[in-house]
Amino acid sequence: MKKVAIYGQSYNLTAKKEVQILLSVLKEKNIVAFFEEQFYNLLNEHDSLEKKYPTFSSFTDLNNSFDLMFTIGGDGTILRAVTYIRDLNIPILGINTGRLGFLATIPKTQIKEAVNLLLKKEYKVQERLLLSIKTSPEITALTEIDFALNEITIGRKNTTSIIGVKTYLNDEYLTNYWADGIIISTPTGSTGYSLSCNGPVILPNAKSLVITPIAPHNLNARPLVISDETSLQLEVNSREKDFFISLDSRMVTAPEHTKIFIKKATFSIKTILLSNQSFLQTLRSKLLWGEDIRNEPKL
């Protein structure tokens, strides 16, 4: 590992400390670091770094010469980092200064240990599928970044009334969801918004997607697991003239009766799983699945 990118979204004392630790370890290992420009300016605005570092400001500034991207923050930071990585095949490793951290899995107390494991190649690369979206008529904002790692959500806007989301799978009619909206989730996103709406947890390597209704008024509507090779077509009926489309945390407004086409993206994102970690271990610790007195060892 010779060259890495570093991305973050916000400044606080914790982030400052973790950045300093990371830079110290990278310097010790003779690894060159590039900062995302806005994050770099934010760090220097509050407390100047010890020296100047090269920066990047767009996905066009990155290329396959980068071995890795470190993110400083939570899962939301990784979702934003994906817009810089795109189809460049640069793996992402998240240092968790956020909350749960299903994607950002490196505790801030284990940065040096994580870098050492990377250098010893004691890790696995996980391929994570993304969703792509097209609309008719075309929405300009979606042509610039038309993919999502976690989920694509269709939701009501400026109203408390439910909306109807007519849903087709591979051109065959499924149903009309009457709800606050629906979530089309990847396995990665199954532990996010979809989970909070009673969707299932799906292992990262599962070749599946989930359709999860949000507060459905159809009493028999349930989350539906489908193949990731399925193409979806959606059309919204609303009392308001507009509804929203959200790609991870990026939101745009669409006019009623816009046709939405969703399918698996043509590229995937690589995340790093160190040898001392596993997804099941993350589930137990983050969702407290092991917190049951019946699981306590007998004395």
- CA 223/CA 77 separation, integer angstroms: 27
Q: Please enumerate in sequence order all residues whose Cβ is within 8 A of that of 36, keeping only pairs 6 or more positions apart, or say none.
A: 5, 6, 7, 8, 55, 56, 57, 84
- φ, ψ (nearest 5 deg) of residue 14: -65, -50
Catalytic residue list contains 75: yes
- CA 263/CA 223 separation, integer angstroms: 18
**Residue type at position 78:** I
End-to-end CA distance of the chain: 47
- CA 172/CA 231 separation, integer angstroms: 10
Given a contact cutoff of 8 angstroms between Cβ atoms, the answer to whether 210 and 202 are in contact is yes
Given a contact cutoff of 8 angstroms between Cβ atoms, the answer to whether 128 and 137 are in contact is no
Q: Please enumerate in sequence order all residues whose Cβ is within 8 A of that of 101, keeping only pairs 6 or more positions apart, or say none.
A: 74, 75, 94, 286
Other C-beta atoms within 10 Å of 278: how many? 13
Closest CA to 59 of 34, 76, 41: 34
Task: Kindly name the residue from 47, 67, 75, 171 that is annotated as catalytic.
Answer: 75
Other C-beta atoms within 10 Å of 126: how many? 18
Closest CA to 178 of 158, 156, 195: 156
- Catalytic positions, written as ranges: 75
